[in-house]
Chain A
Amino acid sequence: MISDLFSTTVLIGILASGIRLATPYLYASIGEVFGQKSGVLNLGIEGQMLLGAFAAFYVALTTGNLWLGVLVAMIVGAVMGLAMAFVTVNLRAQQGISGIGFYLFGMGVSDLLFQKLLGTVETVKGFPKIFIPGLSDIPGVGEIFFSQNLLVYIAYLLVPIAWFVLNKTTLGLKIRSVGENPDAADSLGVSVARIRYFTIILGGILSAVAGASLSIALLNVFQQNMTSGLGFIAVALVYFGAWKPAGVLGGALLFSMINSLQLWIQVLGIPIPSDIAVMMPYVLTILVLVAAVSRVRAPSALTKPFERED
């Protein structure tokens, strides 16, 4: 019944799972913010996520050690990032196309490994909920914000950290200058290549953690192509959030709250066709985007390979 939707328990449930569902978007999108701020578009997030998700899941399943799973996923993400940085920075490849190459590669390899190493869908005991002492006892608020698993908390911590690094540190200044005017940055002695290597590898690591957060913290399974477009949404959220960590947070929350709402609508058996319900997050997010037209400019050197003029 519709009225069920407004009971306190359900509202708390919707908000709590909305907070949780935003986790993978936060990791992946914040990685992408760093990349795009330095002038690099990474369209391969989805592939990095899938490989990260598989690596974390497989390690957690075979060793029982969740942190080892996250660590291995991070290494896998870093290697993918390194390869992407080489293609993007040294070979000056077109970023859109190489990104899609990495996407297909990651999807294919994770699928291949899944079939050869696991074969069937299994579940793993994922990160447990951590109840923050004191805070988690506050009625409502405690359940929504302070009874999540560790990967969720870390994702939200990343937002202020990313803001601080980008806006208040020399590294952040270098990243932004490389993305806005690489020639000027270069003439001032900033290594464009080194900065972009850093942001692309960081993006790879964060995307892989985003995948791990799905496979060993939120869903606790691995399936073929389990991300199903999530990585591309993460790229889109960067545009939505106007290249600001806080904006990305807003977009990720909006998207996952609506998603959580439509999941609950289906759980409660409210008579809306489920096919229509799954459209909701996309339609509403597009509408919000239209309503809040903020024509923020993209970093000037986005997708442009840097070449020093002799």
Chain B
Amino acid sequence: MLKNNRWINLAFQLAALLLAVIFTTLILLAAGAPPLEAYKNILMGAFGSLDNFANVLVAWVPLLLTTAGLLITFSAGLWNIGVEGQIMLGAIFTTWVMRLLQDTTMPPALILTLAILAGMVGGALWAMLAGALKTFGGVNEIFGGLGLNFVATALTLWLIFGPWKRPGVASMSGTVPFDDRLSLTVFTGLRLSPWALVIAVAAIVVVYLLLQGTYFGLRLKAVGRNARAAFLLGIPTWQYMMMSFALCGLFAGAAGAMQVVAVYHRLIPSISSGYGYLGLIVAMLVNYQALWAAPVALFYAALNIGSIQLPIVLKLDSSLSGVLQGMLVLFVVLVEGARQQLMKKS
């Protein structure tokens, strides 16, 4: 009766969304905040104007890049919690190259390209450090990654307040902004860069093709499903794991690079903005299917940007979007479980 139909799946996902909204409403009512007002604020904040929607896309870019990378490590069965730090190292390497080259006579396009590539390398190196700790040091990647995240945060702060501090006084607002000619072209009047969009979309397409259409992707998934069996079948297991870490780091590093060259034009303390953890959620929610990553990431970006308005209007801070995000994850999982039980019965 209930076939494994795409539309039925979609209906279940919508049911999850509805349940999450109902529950969040109940919590809001219990806390004495007006729910309708809050939702209206989120919607308007995300889609109320071209400006706002452009900001949603600005957030979508690093989220999609991070998710693309995480799909690779998840395929290899790895919990790359260190992705947050990989974004930061990407931003640090990009800033470093920009600082080195900003006063040279090189064409800006070349400087930007080199800076972005440097960011990708930085992310990949940090990821490979987590990978090496796991493969050669026997350090679980959750612990190693988490530790490296803290180290990356501290490193960022040290650079901002130490060697790269603004002339005069160092501050939480970050390093000295780069010259205007050294930022990615943006759509007139908006903060959104077409180049950043192109890079993000290209990333998810590449990851989709890599995982679905190549021998490498197939073997990577074999490692993820059962590393021992894959090893016995002759797949060089640890090399594949390292490779997946490095690839994920490339994408995370690119996300960090975008934050520097297209959004903030400098290194700031919160340069990764939690996109790493959000990326983990998106990758898990789409059940590791690259195709779904784009719309789900867009939804989460909208939720994040939309709730920026809340503190000003309702004194609610972004906690509401946190509640809603948590609820969404839980209800998607819950509804998925219920769906599978139902299918078994029919």
Contacts and interface: CB of A to CB of B under 8 A. Distances in A.
Interface of A: 47, 87, 90-94, 96-98, 100-109, 111-113, 115-117, 224, 229, 232-233, 235-236, 239-240, 273, 275-276, 278-279, 282-283, 285-286, 289-290, 293-295
Nearest to B281: A100
B329 A91 contact: no
B87 interface: no
A108 to B, nearest CB: 3
A57 B157 CA distance: 31
Contacts of A93: 333-334, 336-337
Q: Nearest 7 CB-CB pairs, A to B?
A: A91-B337, A108-B322, A105-B326, A104-B326, A101-B329, A108-B323, A236-B143
Contacts of B161: 273, 275
A98 B316 contact: no
Contacts of A290: 133, 137-139
A98 B330 contact: yes
B171 interface: no
Interface string B103-116: 00000000000000
Given A275-B154, A283-B151, A290-B137, A109 B27 contact: yes
B150 A104 contact: no
A112 B143 contact: no
A229 to B, nearest CB: 7
A302 to B, nearest CB: 12
Given A96-B79, A290-B133, A290-B138, A101 B154 contact: no
Contact of A105 (B144, B147, B323): B323
B202 to A, nearest CB: 27
B338 interface: yes
Contacts, number: 154
Contacts of A102: 326, 330
Contacts of A229: 146, 149-150
A155 B81 CA distance: 28
B137 A282 contact: no
A112 B330 contact: no
Contact of A295 (B138, B157, B324): B138
A104 B285 CA distance: 14
A289 B28 CA distance: 44
Interface string B65-91: 000000000000001010000000000
Interface-centre pick from B79, B143, B154, B329 (highest chain A CB count, 10 A): B143
Contacts of A112: 27-28, 31, 33, 316, 319-320, 323
18 contacts: A92-B337, A94-B284, A98-B333, A101-B327, A102-B330, A104-B322, A105-B330, A109-B326, A112-B28, A112-B31, A115-B315, A116-B32, A236-B142, A240-B143, A275-B154, A275-B158, A282-B148, A293-B137
